[in-house]
Amino acid sequence: MIFIADYGAGNLHSVKKAFDYLGIKAMVSSDPRKLSGHRKVLLPGVGAFGQAIDSLNASGFTEAVLEHLDKGGQLLGICLGMQLLLGESEEMGVHKGIDLVSGKVLRFRSETDKIPQIGWNSVDLKKDCALFKGIEDHSFFYFVHSYYCEPMDSGDIAATTWFAGKNFCSAIEKNGIFAVQFHPEKSSEAGLRVLKNFAGC
């Protein structure tokens, strides 16, 4: 059973429908107390970093997620849910993140590419990651974002994507923590495979 955290900043139902389509049991809950006992937790996210981290902290989900990982559980962050895992973000001021992955969330700056990045882009795999099992290198996924993650440790980077003149981190793997900047639930067969891999890894 996949626990999908509802902290007020997520595209919950499209993710839930993707798991339903795959025949994988998943539940959406706004009660962090119900997170306990689940081996796999999904942290979605759409919106602004500051509001999202405030909601996550106030709801009790930050503490619940940290306890979940301490017990050996696994976590998948999607889009803003990925960014929340880093140390801080510069989105509309400086905001502290959960700091499960050392690094910063920065805004794209480009004179040639239109920001935000909206649409399909290729993902280049940087290490053997369970999340991308059976997925070809350079496969395309669907992105919607103006900010990107910059981990301090390159070993945390599972994949990169080229946009706005840089190879930015588009996926993370670290000690049971998985995260992707793209939306797997909107990324056709490759995206569904990512969700299936998370459920099975």
Catalytic residue numbers?
A: 79, 183, 185
* Cα 165 from Cα 29, distance rounded (Å): 39
Interacting residues of 22 by C-beta distance below 8 A, sequence separation 6+:
192, 195, 196, 199
* Contact criterion met (CB below 8 Å) for 45 and 9: yes
Contact partners, residue 131, CB within 8 Å, separation at least 6: 76, 158, 171, 173, 178, 180, 194, 197, 198, 201
Tokens, residue 108:
């794209």
44, 145, 47, 142: CA torsion to nearest 10: -40
